[in-house]
A = this chain, B = another copy of it.
Amino acid sequence: MFVKEKLSNWLLQEQENAVFFLQKTVQEASTTENEAGVQKLIASKLEEIGLEVDMWYPDGEELAAHPYFCAGRTDFSKSPNVVGIWRGTGNGKSLVLNGHIDVVPEGDLKQWDDHPFSGKVIDGKLYGRGSTDMKGGNLALLLAIQALKESGTKLKGDLYFHSVIEEESGGAGTLAAVLRGYKADAAIIPEPTNMKIFPSQQGSMWFRLTVKGKAAHGGTRYEGVSAIEKAAVVLAAVKKLEEIRNQRITDPLYKNIPIPVPINIGKISGGNWPSSVPDTVLLEGRIGVAPHETLEQVKKELEEHLAAIGDSWIKDHPVIIEWFGAQWLPGSIDTSHPLMKNLVHNYEQVLGEKPMIEASPWGTDGGLLTQAGNTPSIVFGPGVTAVAHYPNEYIEIHKIIEAAEIIALTIYDWCGGYSE
C-alpha cells in the first residue's frame, strides 16, 4: 500500500478518537496562567505516540533579556511549554511543527450560544474558544505525526513539535522553545488560515500618540487650540503614511489585498467637558510590518513622518509617540522554498486542486521562529479565520483531517520518510 493510502485510511478510522481528544483540549480553558492542564494532555499524547517529551516552565528573567521578548508578565511558573521530539535517523532535513495552546478570553458570555468551552459538536463543527485558534490546528499536527508513526514510517531528519504558551501575548513561548534549542531547517504553523498557505506574515506593533492642544472655555474657543482638531491633522498624516508604505509593496502575494500593511487607529480619547476646549487627545493604534521590514525601521518611519507634519502648532507641540503593549515580528519564506513546494504538491495530491497562496494580514509566531530561531516558517491550517477571537468560535472537523494528511505527507517528503 502506498504511504498516502496508509495515512489516509488511518486518519479516517482515527477521526472519532481525534474529535474526543479535541473536545478534551478545548474544555481545558487555557487562558493566560491556565495552560498547565492542556499541556499535560498534550505531553501524555506525545508520549503515547512515542515521542520524547520536554515539558518545562520558561525562565521569565532569562527571556526578558532577549530583544524580541514581549509579554505582559515574566512569571511563567504556572505556564509550561511542551516540546515533543522525534529524532531522525540522520542525513535529513529537520522540521518544527509549531502551535500555541494559549487562547484569548471568552469575552462577553451573552454573545455565546453555548458554554464558551463546551467542545460541543454540531453538524461536523466543533465549538469552543480555542477550537479554531488553534487547538484544531495542533490536533492536525498530532494526527499527522501519529499517522506516520502508525504507518511504520521512519524519518531521516529531526521533527520537533512545539506546544507553546503566550502566542496571543507576544510569543514568549516560542521564544523560549527557540532559546532551548528547538530550531530546525523550516517550520509549519497551522494557525487558522482557512486552508490557505501563507508564506509571508504581516508583523505589527502598537503605538500611542499624544496630541496636545490648549484649554479654553468653549464660548471663547478661539482663545484655545483644540486637541481634537489637531488630532484630525495627525490622523490625516497617518493615513498618508499608510498610503506611502503600501505603494512600496509589489509582492504578488499581496495582489488581492487592498491594504497589505494597514495602519489602524483603534482608540481615541480626549477632553473631559463639553464646553471646554480639549487640551489632550490620545490615539492608540496598530501598524502593520511588512515581511522584510524590521520593527526599528517601521518605528523610525512613523516617528519621522509625524515629526514632519506641516502644522505650526504641532511643530511647536510635537506629537508624543509611545510603543507599548504587544508586538509581532513579520515572517517570510521564499515561495520557491523546497518546503513550499512539498506543501503545495501534497495539498494538490490530497485535495485535487491548487491551494490559495497569500500573505497573512496578521502576525504569528512564524516571525519569531524566522528572526530569533533562523527557522523560516509557513503558516497553513484548517481553522476558520473569521471566528478566531469571536463568540461561537468553531472548527470544521473534516478540514482537520485533510490538513493532517497534507502535513503528514509533507513531513514525509521534507524529513526524508521511509519504511524499513
In angstroms, Cα B228 to Cα A66, docked, is 36
Known contacts being A222-B259, A275-B206, is A361 close to B217, with CB within 8 Å? yes
Is A221 in the interface zone, CB < 8 Å from B? yes
Q: A219-B286, A219-B360 are in contact. List 6 more A-B contacts (CB 8 A).
A: A206-B274, A217-B362, A218-B266, A266-B277, A268-B270, A274-B285
> CB distance B235 to A219 under 8 Å?
no
Known contacts being A267-B273, A275-B286, A277-B266, is A204 close to B221, with CB within 8 Å? no
Closest 9 CB pairs of A and B: A218-B264, A219-B361, A275-B286, A267-B271, A219-B362, A218-B286, A222-B258, A274-B284, A266-B274
> CB distance B274 to A219 under 8 Å?
no
In angstroms, Cα B271 to Cα A219, docked, is 29
Is A5 in the interface zone, CB < 8 Å from B? no
Size range of the chain A interface in the assembly:
35 or more
Is A243 in the interface zone, CB < 8 Å from B? no
Is A410 in the interface zone, CB < 8 Å from B? no
Nearest residue (CB) in B for A227 is B268
Chain A, range 257-282, C-beta contacts under 8 Å to B: 258-259, 262, 264-278, 281
In the bound complex, residues from chain B placing their C-beta under 8 Å from that of A350 are none
Nearest residue (CB) in B for A283 is B228
Nearest residue (CB) in B for A239 is B229
Q: How many copies does the complex hold?
A: 2
In angstroms, Cα B235 to Cα A170, docked, is 36
> CB distance A219 to B232 under 8 Å?
no
Known contacts being A221-B259, A228-B235, A270-B267, is A204 close to B275, with CB within 8 Å? yes
Is A226 in the interface zone, CB < 8 Å from B? yes
> CB distance A274 to B267 under 8 Å?
yes
Q: Which of A262, A265, A268, A275 has the most CB of B within 10 A?
A: A275
> CB distance A268 to B278 under 8 Å?
yes
In angstroms, Cα B258 to Cα A265, docked, is 33
Is A288 in the interface zone, CB < 8 Å from B? yes
Is A220 in the interface zone, CB < 8 Å from B? yes
Is A325 in the interface zone, CB < 8 Å from B? yes
> CB distance A229 to B235 under 8 Å?
yes
Find A271's partner among B208, B221, B266 (CB 8 Å cutoff): B266
